[in-house]
Amino acid sequence: QERIVKLERELEQVVRTRQLHRAKRRKVPHPIVALVGYTNAGKSTLFNRITGAGVLAEDMLFATLDPTLRRMKLPHGRTVILSDTVGFISDLPTHLVAAFRATLEEVLEADLILHVRDMSDPDNAAQSADVLRILGDLGIDEKEAEHRIIEVWNKVDRLDPEAHDAIMQRAEGSANIRAVSAITGEGVDALMDEISKRLSGVLTETTVVLSVEQLPLISWVYSNSIVDGREDHEDGSVALDVRLSEAQAAELERKLGKTTTREREEWER
């Protein structure tokens, strides 16, 4: 009972703070990748493997309550925000269902969802069905799931050799499945490549010339686009060959229109 009361308090806090997370993300023109899955599927361990952020990874109910956000660069240079969400459980007490689902509304704003499954758990098929059902209840239907969800078959290191090989072979033959071990790192590079592929979209190639007055923007350009080349001019200006998304291009154009010292200080932040 004490554990449930503690969970209620923590869930209420998460519901209060999730709006702050969203407001923060809306200011950043990056795609969002959300990890979802059953408790103990290895989401936080995978998050750690990908980001090196040292997020709590425990064999424990609701070990991850406050969705953790990290900005990271994909192998092909695209910057994304990775979000680790609260784990699913079966037979959740009725009075906790609403708060639990409220924390998962983070997922609705994600551009890509990584559904992490523990393939060493004999109940993983039923657990997967629970996750998909709740995602469906949140508004992510089966058709949308086809292009928005990657199934991450985790913990292949715990399988016997025959089962391991069968899982890897099946994953290799599917566009929507990647088999990994968050512990050993097996398959993670292939997963990252697939994430990059899904989020590549259409990137615009252009040359951005920053005057001396606009140089405070240079760190923003490096953080928010793929910089393929740089040329420093004698007059102090800098030309950058970049690739960036439509949203990033619009944000850069807006920032280039700012001229006051106060606003330039805001750019750097």
Torsion sign (Cα): 25, 72, 16, 88: positive
Asked if residue 226 lies in contact with residue 203, where contact means CB atoms within 8 angstroms, the answer is yes
Structure confidence at residue 77 (pLDDT): 75
The 10 Å CB-count burial string (b at 16+, else e) for 112-128 is: bbbbbbbbbbeebeebb
52 with 185, same domain: the answer is yes
Query: 201 burial class (0-12, 13-18, 19+ CB within 10 angstroms)?
Result: exposed
Write out the two tokens for 5: 């009361």
Structure confidence at residue 267 (pLDDT): 43
230 with 180, same domain: the answer is no
Task: Please count the structural domains in the chain.
Answer: 2
Q: pTM of the prediction? A: 0.66
Out of 177, 199, 221, pick the residue that ends a domain: 199
The helix (run of H) or strand (run of E) holding residue 226 is strand 226-232
CA 173 to chain centre: 24
- Structural domain of 222: 204-268
Residue 126 to residues 45, 89, 190, Cα–Cα distance (Å): 22, 11, 26
187 with 54, same domain: the answer is yes
Asked if residue 255 lies in contact with residue 220, where contact means CB atoms within 8 angstroms, the answer is yes
Structure confidence at residue 234 (pLDDT): 94
Out of 178, 199, 220, pick the residue that ends a domain: 199
81 with 26, same domain: the answer is yes
Rounded-to-integer distance, Cα 47 and Cα 59, Å: 15
| CATH code where residue 136 lies | 3.40.50.300
164 with 211, same domain: the answer is no
Of 46, 169, 174, 62, nearest to 114 by C-alpha is: 46
* Mean pLDDT per 10-residue interval, the chain, length 269 residues: 68 58 55 88 91 55 55 80 77 65 74 94 93 83 80 97 96 92 95 86 81 92 86 94 80 73 44
Residue 262 to residues 175, 209, 259, 265, Cα–Cα distance (Å): 48, 21, 9, 5
75 with 173, same domain: the answer is yes
116 with 226, same domain: the answer is no
67 with 194, same domain: the answer is yes
**CA atoms within a 13 Å half-sphere pointing along the CA-CB vector of 217:** 26
